[in-house]
Chains A and B, each alone.
Chain A
Amino acid sequence: MSALAKIFKNTPWYIPAALTALIIYPFLVSNYFIDIAFFFGIYALLGLSLNIVLGEVGLFDLGHAGFYAIGAYVTAILNTRYQIPILALLPISAFAAALFAYIVCSPIIHLKGDYLCIVTIGMGEIVRLALINNPFDLTGGPNGVFGVDFPKLAPGIVIDSSIKYYFLIWAVVGLSILGLVSLQHSRIGRAWNCIREDGIAAGTTGINVRHYKLLAFVIGAGLAGVAGNIYASKLMCVSPESFTFWESCLMFCIVLIGGMGSIPGVIIGAGFISLFPEIFRPFAMYRMLVFGSVMIVMMMFRPGGFWPRKRGGVSFRSLLEDTVDGAV
């Protein structure tokens, strides 16, 4: 608790500002804009989860949508078949995604850089293709699973409207941020950053590199599973096309646009990815053109991301080097 207390004492100005904005916002706008903010929250959660793997440890993971899909499908299948309440499934989906990550990543965790990248892409694609192919008649094939329930907080308190979902997702994002900040300042967070900066040096100072890399995947996947759980109950249905390679690429961009390892950066990155196409809706067909160009321009002017992490963040030197051996 002392770590948390210290963080609260040094709270920067933007946190109360953001909190106030978050609480006032849904009372000022229509349901449509509340829903947009809900998906902003989902992407923020997904960005935070990938940030553990990519930002903190520097492991290229382009298959994160696979973990997200596991969380969503576990929720949808267990809820529609066995009527298990959604909130009870929240830890179960997180655990399922984490377990999946542990099993899948154990044999591949020693791979470096782009090789790990392609294996995670392969893993994500296998999950998606398996969902389409409907193994054991569980996943409903390309149509997916329908009729997922609303979460019930307590008897009589059912989360069934846009505004309630909005507060649910942002409460979960807030709790995750608290957890992740204390993780960043813990022994684990320092070990992760050490591995990212120089994996071999980390190994020689007694850090169990394999163990900590796996831990990052497991925690990241668990958080993505939580996002999947909330997503499934909000949409009331899940289908394989929500979990494509494209979705993994978006998460990757969220972390890099925001700034690797920087939590406020990831939130901004998620905002960019989820709000930009909505704000530029008047441009209709041209908005994705603009979106692609903005990504390029952004990397020219802020290569370290919009809000790079200062202490313990990615140093400029390691960005300059072609290959960050070991870390990458």
Chain B
Amino acid sequence: MQLLLEQLINGLTIGSFYALIALGYSMVYGVLKLINFAHGDFFTMGSYIGYTVLVLGAAALTVQFGPWIGMLSAICVAAGSLTIVGLLVERVAYRPVYPVGRLPAVVSALGASIFLQNTIMLIWGPRYQAYPAALIPVVRFQLGGINITLLQVIILVLSFFLMSVLYYIIQRTTFGAAVRATAHDRDTASLMGINFNRVILFIFTLGPALGATAGVMVGMYYRQISFTMGWNYGLKAFTATILGGIGNLPGAMFGGLILGVLEMLGAAYISAAWKDVFVFLILILVLIFRPNGLFGEKIAEKV
């Protein structure tokens, strides 16, 4: 029972990384019907920028303002820089291509991913980099016999906060309604006076920023980052997106959390080496029985 609860907490922590990344995939897919392969590299780049901020300024910041400000500034700088990178990638790689069709955009996205990954390698080098240790004081809480670290609490609180903010924007504000309308039917939404370019601006600002936040948190949690890690996390997050029902934002959040929990339970009760196999098998089984994902709506086929 204790093991189960601890694995649930670990799973939720990893799941919240997946969920934050998956939101970026899901928003872009919802509006553009494009699998944004470069999104995993946005995540990696965010992680590296956070690393640079912490290595260069952590000591000074931490001495003056305490560890919290160090962490928050890393997240803010990473997220802020990635909004710029995201908009640039959209402008250069996607905007000229997506009016032509979906498949050329996929190749363009893969090209952008290769480009970003190699940019990261050229700037920070091909070796693993380590986040500074003990950025957040190592505090363990005992809750009914289970251990939770302070870092896990921060990650969970911060990611749930970000997800709720995004959920609020999308579901409760007028602009969110515009985004949902565009995802539903771009042409009709444009005819109703919704500015398509502003919607694009919105998704390519928020998506990469959320990915970068996840990147900094992964760096703090595992303390080791590499320039190729975007592929793996991107793949898992994309899996989470599909699991929840593609283009469905609450679906992507739950998909990410479910995926993280499944992965940790698989690692604990089946075998650590086979945990990813287990995750993909569950995904395939879910799609066989629910072809539109767990929370996806059935879309009527057009004739």
Residues in chain A within 8 A of chain B (CB atoms): 107-108, 110-112, 114-115, 117-119, 121-123, 125-126, 129-130, 132-133, 200, 245-246, 249, 252-253, 256-257, 260, 285-286, 288-289, 291-296, 298-300, 303-304, 319-323, 325-326, 328
Contacts and interface: CB of A to CB of B under 8 A. Distances in A.
Contacts of A126: 277, 280-281
Contacts, number: 140
Contact of A253 (B107, B238, B246, B274): B107
Contacts of B96: 300
B189 to A, nearest CB: 13
8 contacts: A107-B288, A108-B287, A115-B291, A121-B239, A125-B235, A256-B106, A256-B107, A292-B115
Contacts of A130: 277
B8 interface: no
B291 A122 contact: no
B118 interface: yes
Contacts of A325: 301-302
Given A115-B291, A118-B242, A122-B284, A323 B33 contact: yes
A249 B29 CA distance: 19
A325 B111 CA distance: 26
Nearest to B290: A115
A305 B231 CA distance: 25
B259 to A, nearest CB: 12
Contacts of B118: 285-286, 288-289, 292
Contacts of A291: 111, 114
B148 interface: no
Nearest to B32: A322
Contacts of A295: 107-108, 110-111, 114
**Which 6 residue pairs across A and B have the least CB separation, nearest first?**
A295-B111, A292-B115, A292-B114, A319-B101, A122-B280, A303-B104
A289 B119 contact: yes
A215 B58 CA distance: 59
- Tell which of B117, B277, B293 has the most Cβ of chain A within 10 Å: B277
